Amino acid sequence: MERKVHIFDTTLRDGEQSPGASLTGAEKLEIARQLARLNVDVIEAGFPASSPGDFRAVQEIARNVQGPTITALARAVKADIDAVWEAVRPAARPRIHIVLGTSDIHARNKLRRSREELLRMGVEAVRYARSLCPDVEYSTEDASRSDRRYLFQVLEAVIDAGATVVNVPDTVGYAVPAQWGRLIADIRRHVRNIDRAILSVHCHNDLGMATANSLAAVRAGAQQVECTINGIGERAGNASLEEVVMAIKVRGRYYGAHTDVVTPELCRTSTLVSRFTGLAVARSKAVVGANAFAHSSGIHQDGVLKHRDNYEIMRPEEVGAGETQIVLTARSGRHAVRHRLEQLGYRLTPAELERLHARFLELADVKKQVFDDDLHALVADQRGTTNQTYHLESFRVACGTGVTPSASVVLRSGEVLFERSAAGDGPVDACFRAVDSITGLPVALKEYRLNAATAEKEALGEARVSLQLEDRTAAGHGVSTDVIEASVRAYVSAINRLLSMGK
């Protein structure tokens, strides 16, 4: 039978220790509410002894957030334990979390006490915490660099003293998966009373292995994983909650385990945490990155459109990421472009698609990515120019400080090319005058508007022109990454409309 892995979220404690990530009490409360919707098992809300503000934030969360166990961190001293208890006691399920080092490095250089003294301190702290609260977690800080026999002895002693959860941290991100998994299996084997507590791990990402180490521990029998949203945390961060949870979900059979996390809430939670902490999520971040479900190469796009399983091991809906994205770039083939056009409601004939794909590739060469608005503009442009009388072949402009703007425009009508030059008030005006001298039509410019069709730097310029010829008025529309070209296209398209109205 699959066993449950408890998800202990420490975004609001270890995550908030990320440099530059401090959160207000109100922000912490909002994140905690979202973590409850995500259905994590435990929220570590802060370190109450660290500041009165953090104490209040933990207390607010304990008072207002229902569902998960609410815990907070204490060193193995009475004052810290009292502060945690005061802060978490309003929760329906409070827990006190105590931390004390077990490695000789910490004993010698930080705590300046012998192993025996530290063991005694830990046991006393657990006994005291248990006199206040029925749920007490004990963390053996720097476990990955601790002497194994001493570590096992401490775990056994604190469980005998009443610890309900024992957490084994790789505080400095030193562990590697196979060795870490063996340590967890050995704890299960050699710590006499381990069945009386939940065995937990807490891995840091200094060598980029926090998720892998946490999962190796799960495979070896760990029952709780401590992690953070987006993997934020001290230095290089903690194991990322979304990666651990989705690995257990996607590879459930391998791990023989499941979590109770409501995975469609993952992306929303990630965005909230990123917005409040100011820590951006890399586009390529597993599970919640903007590119996690974006297919870019032509071969992958074709494959995923034929069958999603070809290139997707999980569905974007499962993590709340919206739809699979086909990122339209210069590598996208006709299949991908047609698919997106159909999603946007366009049905193009094979000939229309051929022409549009050619213009799409021209555009994609200039822009990194072609967006929906670009496609709308391309279709509108193509549909507006199918019955044209004049077609823009090329143009050149000369302008600058102290130079009279001038333009040379080449239009094609049927097989015939016409070229004229003109000067004007600006490069666009010069082009319009050159076009007028080709057509010979006495048109009046009634309106000229220029917009960016899309939001980014390499956006398409979209020009709209309204022209009057005698009693007829016609509008034209043109798009290009070059605003002068967009303007000339719009002008020529309006002239073609006027001419077709005349016919």
Residues 280 and 230: their CA atoms lie apart, in Å, by 9
In the complex, the smallest distance separating the C-beta of residue 47 from Zn ion, rounded to whole angstroms, is 11
Residue-wise burial string across 188-199, b where 16 or more C-beta atoms lie within 10 A, e elsewhere: eeebeebeebbb
Question: What is the rounded distance in angstroms from the CA atom of residue 128 to the CA atom of residue 133?
Answer: 9
103 binds ligand KIV (CB under 6 A): no
User: Which of 14, 80, 436, 462 forms a contact with ligand KIV (CB under 6 A)?
Assistant: 14
Distances in Å between the Cα of 460 and the Cα atoms of 95, 166, 372 are 56, 58, 11
Interaction of residue 224 with ligand KIV, rule CB under 6 A: no
Q: Which does 485 bind (CB under 5 to 8 A by kind): Zn ion, ligand KIV, none?
A: none
Q: Which is nearer to ligand KIV, 139 or 487 (CB)?
A: 139
Binding status of residue 223 toward ligand KIV by CB under 6 A: no
Residue pair 485/393 in contact by the 8 Å Cβ criterion? no
Q: Per CB under 5 A, does 137 bind Zn ion? A: no
Q: Backbone phi, then psi, for 273, in 5-degree steps?
A: -65, -40
Q: Write each residue from 295 to 334 as x if it is in contact with ligand KIV (CB under 6 A), else as -, in one continuous string.
A: ----------------------------------------
Q: CB nearer to Zn ion: give 142 or 156.
A: 142
Q: Judged by CB under 5 A, which of 8, 11, 14, 239 binds Zn ion?
A: 14
- Residues 101 and 81: their CA atoms lie apart, in Å, by 16
Measured from the CB atom, is 139 or 263 closer to ligand KIV? 139
Please, what is the end-to-end C-alpha distance for the chain in angstroms? 79
The one among 42, 58, 70, 73 contacting ligand KIV by CB under 6 A = 73
Nearer to ligand KIV, 204 or 339 (CB): 204
**In this structure, what are the phi and psi dihedrals at residue 394, rounded to the nearest 5 degrees?**
-165, 165
Find the shortest distance in angstroms from Cβ 171 to ligand KIV: 3
Instruction: Pick out residues in 153-212 that bind ligand KIV (CB under 6 A).
Output: 167, 169, 171, 202, 204
The burial of 401, by beta-carbon neighbours within 10 Å (0-12 exposed, 13-18 middle, 19 or more buried), is given as exposed
- For Zn ion, which is the closer residue by CB, 14 or 60? 14
* Closest residue to Zn ion in the complex (CB): 14
Taking CA 100 as the corner, what is the angle to CA 94 and CA 103, rounded to the nearest 5 degrees?
145
Per the CB < 8 A criterion, the answer to whether 458 and 481 are in contact is yes
Which residue among 31, 58, 99, 375 contacts ligand KIV (CB under 6 A)?
99
Please say which residue, 99 or 133, places its beta carbon nearer to ligand KIV. 99
Task: Tell me the two tokens of residue 174.
Answer: 């030193």
Binding residues for ligand KIV, per CB under 6 A? Answer: 14, 73, 99, 139, 141, 167, 169, 171, 202, 204
